[in-house]
Amino acid sequence: MGGRGSSYHRVIAPTPPPAAANDDANDAASAGATPPLGVTLAQLQGMDDQQLHDFLIKVQSVDIPAFLSDHHLQRMVYALGMNDKPEIVSQKQFDYETSFAGGHTAIYRTVNDTSVGGNTFTADDICDMLTDGDLTYHGAGMYGDGLYFSDSLSGSKAYGWNNPRTVGAYLNSKARPISFSKLQKEYDAFVKTHPQTRKALGFAKSHGSGHHNSYAQFALIRGYNVIYNARGGERYYSVLDRGVLSMTRKRY
């Protein structure tokens, strides 16, 4: 339904078990730690053509915890240490901010009970990882990989199929959104003048999710952290940085 892939919510990272085999990797990516490749998001955005190429290629060799999704954007976000958590607000503030007076649009994400590596995780576990987990999980999507939300509560719930839970959020002042159509135009113009980055984005695409695009990677290079696209009466949001979200812990 809509713009997301039909399997988007079926491949969701659980909260890692306490005795995870990648504890060292978890510790290295915790808040305040040096990013695994020693490159910050700000430094990435200042790179020249060859530097961007080298970074995007090197990202694929980053060792990530097994409970994260295994595609290029996930490795890139992990390599950059992009693990800021959402802003948690009271339900009263959330209701006000998403009212006509507050002026923010409420957006929703639905997840399901799932099994990963033989272990079963509830939808509530997965919601807890979004709000409180030390690492940021990213899934797959047609408009760039990321954390997908919808501005339609019923539209989001349509992705529920196995004891689902839905959480709400709004974009705060950290959000740097761009429409998918504008991002595509910027992408096409950029690669014409950055041939090495074009090659590396192609490499990223070939190591991406099932949708095989590298728009999310390009968005981060250009300083955007949310990609939105209207389709079928609702607007989808691919969120690349949890820090742009303000939300409660309410389940819908």
Helix (H) or strand (E) holding 88: strand 87-88
Please compute the mean of the pLDDT values over residues 63-75 and round it to a whole number. Answer: 88
Q: Tell me what pLDDT residue 212 has.
A: 74
Q: Is residue 2 part of a domain?
A: no
CA gap 50, 53 in Å, rounded: 5
pLDDT band at 211 (very low <50, low <70, confident <90, very high): confident
Please compute the mean of the pLDDT values over residues 57-72 and round it to a whole number. Answer: 89
Render pLDDT for 106-163 as a digit per residue (tens, 0 to 9): 999 999 997 755 667 789 988 998 999 999 888 888 888 999 999 999 999 999 998 9
Q: Is residue 102 part of a domain?
A: yes
Regarding beta strands 107-111 and 165-171, do their DSSP bridges make them parallel or antiparallel, or are they unpaired? antiparallel
Render pLDDT for 26-61 as a digit per residue (tens, 0 to 9): 444 444 578 888 999 999 999 999 999 999 999 999
User: Which one has a higher pLDDT value, 14 or 42?
Assistant: 42
- How far lies 10's CA from each of 6, 13, 73, 114, in Å? 8, 10, 18, 7
Q: Is residue 204 part of a domain?
A: yes
Q: Is residue 242 part of a domain?
A: yes
Q: Is residue 150 part of a domain?
A: yes
Q: Is residue 1 part of a domain?
A: no
Render pLDDT for 84-97 as a digit per residue (tens, 0 to 9): 999 999 999 999 99
Q: Is residue 156 part of a domain?
A: yes
Count of the separate structural domains present in the chain: 1
User: Which one has a higher pLDDT value, 130 or 10?
Assistant: 130
Domain range spanning residue 97?
8-247
pLDDT at 205 over 60: yes
Q: Tell me what pLDDT residue 20 has.
A: 37
Sheet holding 87-88, edge to edge: 87-88, 245-247, 165-171, 107-111, 147-150, 234-239, 226-231, 177-179
